[in-house]
Each structure stands twice: as structure tokens, then as C-alpha cells.
């Protein structure tokens, strides 16, 4: 179980890095899963629930800024 959680943590950080590189850093600049190259299922069920990734009402995703 610890390996699974560690893997999800690494995956989350890689996705957040990719999202930042593509400019998905606010609700206005959020990107669709197709633009990010990530299955929406993964975003919905794992990454968005971990931390720092938010979904807009129209199904785009962005990295939440850390204040």
C-alpha cells in the first residue's frame, strides 16, 4: 500500500509540473485533459483529490496556486 501511495505522489508531482509548463496555473488558463495528455479518469479519481489540482465547471484542470 505504501508503494501505491508513493507512486501516486510521484505521478501527481509530474502532472503538476507538466501542467505548469503548459500554463495551466489558474482557472482562466486551465486546460482540457486532452491538451494535458492525461486521462480525465486519472484526474478525476486520483490527482484532483490529492492536492493542488483543481477542476473548472467546464471540465478543464489547473494547478492551484500556493499562497
Please write the tens of the pLDDT for every residue from 39-48. Answer: 888 787 766 5
Q: Which residues contact 4 (CB under 8 A, 6 or more apart)?
A: none
Instruction: Say what percent of the chain tops pLDDT 90.
Output: 36
Number of domains making up the chain: 1
User: Which position has the higher pLDDT, 41 or 61?
Assistant: 61
pLDDT of residue 33 exceeding 60, the answer is yes
**Average pLDDT in the 14-29 region?**
92
- The pTM score is 0.77
**Average pLDDT in the 59-64 region?**
91
User: Which position has the higher pLDDT, 4 or 30?
Assistant: 30
Burial of 56 (0-12, 13-18, 19+ CB in 10 A): middle
Range of the domain at 9: 2-63
Amino acid at each position: 500500500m505504501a508503494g501505491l501511495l508513493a507512486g501516486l505522489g510521484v505521478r501527481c508531482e509530474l502532472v503538476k509540473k507538466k501542467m505548469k509548463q503548459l500554463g495551466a496555473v489558474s482557472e482562466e488558463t486551465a486546460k482540457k485533459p486532452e491538451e494535458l495528455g492525461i486521462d480525465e479518469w486519472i484526474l478525476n479519481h486520483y490527482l484532483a483529490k490529492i492536492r493542488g489540482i483543481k477542476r473548472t465547471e467546464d471540465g478543464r484542470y489547473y494547478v492551484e496556486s500556493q499562497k
